[in-house]
Amino acid sequence: MSQPSVKERILKMEDKKIISEYCTVFNLRDLNRGTTTFILIKTEHCQALVDFCEEAEEVTDLFRISGEFNYLIKVQTASVEELAEFQDSLVHIGPSKSHICLKNILENRVLL
């Protein structure tokens, strides 16, 4: 495929909002944020949790979910000790369960 054809296809996908943004993917291990943890939290203090997560540099993603727990937080820390400190700061918002990622197998996968 020629370069002009590729550019034209990309522009069309941008116009149709199929491509909504471009981003940079960082090597988190090199940034001393290599420990990925998913934290399930049950809370009635929803806005307090959202505010807390917006301020916490460890939080990369926050999801409202269904089930026993009502939020899922994705956290990147330098170590398990730093994770423990983060969890201690969550105690006032509600009970939580943590799942430490041992290995990333599929991440940021695009489904077309």
Q: What is the pLDDT of residue 33?
A: 84
| Residue 44 phi, psi (nearest 5) | -105, -5
Question: How far from chain centre, in Å, is Cα 94?
Answer: 20
The alpha carbons of the chain give a radius of gyration, in whole angstroms, of 18
pLDDT of residue 31: 83
Per-residue pLDDT of the chain (112 residues; tens, 9 = 90+): 899 999 999 999 999 999 999 988 888 888 888 899 999 999 999 999 999 999 999 999 999 999 999 999 999 999 999 999 999 999 999 999 999 999 989 887 877 6
Question: Closest Cα partner for 35 from 10, 60, 69?
Answer: 60
Pairing of strands 71-77, 59-64: antiparallel
Residue 75 parent element (H or E): strand 71-77
